[in-house]
Amino acid sequence: IIRRSFSLFRTPNTTSLALRAARDGHDTIRIQRVHFRKRFFSVSRIIGTTVTLAGAYAFLSWVDGELEALDEEEIENPAVQSKNPEEVAREGREITDEEEDEDEDEEEGLIFFPTGFSRPKPRTFYKGSDPEWQEFVKLARDRNRINRIRGELVVLVRGLAVKNPQYSRRLGKIDPTKGSTWIDVVFPDGPPIEYERPGYELTDELTFRQTTQDVHELHHQRMKNLLVPTAVAHSVYQDSKSRADGLWQGFKNYLGWQETSKPDAAQKLLTQFPMPPPSSPKSPAPSTTASSTASPPPAPSTAEDSAKPSTTPSPLSNPANERFGLALPDPTKVPTLNLSHFRRTLHQHHKQTHMSAPRGAFFVRGLIEIVGERAKMTLDVTAAYDPKLGKYVMLSVRLRQVKDFHQRPRG
């Protein structure tokens, strides 16, 4: 109790101390804090300093002795002194070349221990003497080849659209020969940006050295999206906001602050068409019976339905209620959480992985229109063409616009 009362971190309750003093017969009480300082030269501090200094002195003495032994061996070795300076220099060059070869062989270590996240390397640009740039200059002057490359991209994209059943279901039968195109060729200023991560590597000699390891661009972007999930955070915020708005509207309706609610779009469509007349019991038609299901049933059917026994289990027949007096929820009726709004928002704001063109390739970008029987679609296409291979090595397609040929009023 005394330690807790005079502690510097846990403030004592002065009211309780005053009550204790009044209960013991004291009228006044004076509380004064004190702080006990430790001595600077304590026993533990002196022992720790002594052990540290002794260990450092022993280690430095051992290193000094080893260096002196190496110097004595070099002085006592007469082989080096008897040789000419040219021979010594030649041997030095040979040793240097051998060491360089060994360093090249030791580039790959046993185990790599990363010490940080991946980061981009300094960007480089093409020079006029580079073979990639010379190929770009040669290709830019050949207009026929440029047009042929553009045509290959149009045929490739429209062929993929014809084979895709989702496009055919939305647009109808697709004609690959119809549609407008706008395609441009863009030559990059330099090779793609490379990524690396720092760390330490264990060599064959069981020594550690500081080095870096190359990282693929796809791995870098996925790790960035994982560490900075902006799309997920925005989706969670929008979903929480919509749920809070729904709860607030229900709360206002419950208190009577908002009596009339806005009708839904489905209710607006139903109010535009008149209700069908009730079907005659003498000549029931299948179409009339099916359309009259929205109207309230007649009185005889209601009486028959009420006379039938209810199939829902009663809470009194629950064995848990008979034994413990508790009505447990039905396990077959599990509450589900609607995540449609969250998934839709996540799909809209999700950043797709952006892949750069490989070294020596250039970009072919533009808009390609796909025409079907019912609608037409405009795609934003980005592709990478490798002139050495003579084919496209990367393709990215994004939907830009869908337009129906027959548009109906929605009001």
Domain-located, residue 48: no
pLDDT band at 37 (very low <50, low <70, confident <90, very high): confident
Q: Is 208:202 a contact under the CB 8 Å cutoff?
A: yes
| pLDDT at residue 282 in the model | 42
Q: Is 368:151 a contact under the CB 8 Å cutoff?
A: no
CA 87 from chain centre, in angstroms, equals 62
- Does position 2 have pLDDT exceeding 80, yes or no? no
The residues, ordered by sequence, that sit 6+ positions from 339 with a Cβ below 8 Å of its Cβ are: 239
Q: Where in 174-264 does DSSP place strands (E)?
A: 181-186, 195-202, 208-215
Same domain, yes or no, for 375 and 388? yes
Q: Which residue has the higher pLDDT, 141 or 352?
A: 141
Radius of gyration, CA atoms only, the chain = 41
Domain-located, residue 181: yes
Angstrom distance (rounded) from CA 222 to CA 226: 6
Q: How many Cβ atoms are within 10 Å of 345's Cβ, its own excluded?
A: 19
Out of 143-152, 286-295, 322-331, give the one with best mean pLDDT.
Answer: 143-152
pLDDT in tens, 232-275: 888 888 888 888 888 888 888 888 887 655 555 555 544 554 44
Domain-located, residue 378: yes
Domain-located, residue 362: yes
Angstrom distance (rounded) from CA 384 to CA 362: 5
pLDDT band at 281 (very low <50, low <70, confident <90, very high): very low
DSSP state letter for 158 = H
Domain-located, residue 168: yes
Domain-located, residue 379: yes
Mean pLDDT in residue range 158-173: 90
Q: What is the largest CA-CA distance in the chain?
A: 131
Residue that terminates a domain, selected from 228, 247, 275: 228
Q: Are strands 391-404 and 195-202 parallel, antiparallel or unpaired?
A: unpaired
Length of the chain, please? 411
Paired strand residues for 107: none
pLDDT in tens, 182-241: 999 999 998 888 899 888 888 887 788 888 888 888 888 888 888 888 888 888 888 888
pTM tops 0.75: no
Domain-located, residue 382: yes
Paired strand residues for 181: 368
66 is written with which tokens? 């080893």
CA 137 from chain centre, in angstroms, equals 39
Domain-located, residue 18: no
Mean pLDDT in residue range 380-400: 91
| pLDDT at residue 221 in the model | 82
Same domain, yes or no, for 170 and 199? no
Mean pLDDT in residue range 267-293: 44
Burial 145-182 (b: 16+ CB within 10 A, else e): eeeebbebbbebbbeebbeeeebeeebeebeeeebeee
Same domain, yes or no, for 380 and 363? yes
Same domain, yes or no, for 170 and 148? yes
60 is written with which tokens? 């430095």
Q: Is 198:212 a contact under the CB 8 Å cutoff?
A: yes
pLDDT band at 306 (very low <50, low <70, confident <90, very high): very low
Same domain, yes or no, for 362 and 375? yes
Total domains present in the chain: 2
Of 171, 229, 65, nearest to 402 by C-alpha is: 171
Tracing tokens 């229900």 back to the chain, one arrives at 250
pLDDT in tens, 324-375: 666 666 666 655 667 787 788 877 777 666 777 888 899 999 999 999 999 9
Out of 68-82, 163-177, 208-222, 245-259, give the one with best mean pLDDT.
Answer: 163-177
Of 192, 187, 189, 213, nearest to 202 by C-alpha is: 213
φ, ψ at 380 (rounded to 5°)? -95, 110
- For the ranges 11-15, 108-112, 114-118, 298-302, which has the lowest average pLDDT? 298-302
Range(s) of the domain holding residue 216 = 111-126+195-228
| pLDDT at residue 301 in the model | 44
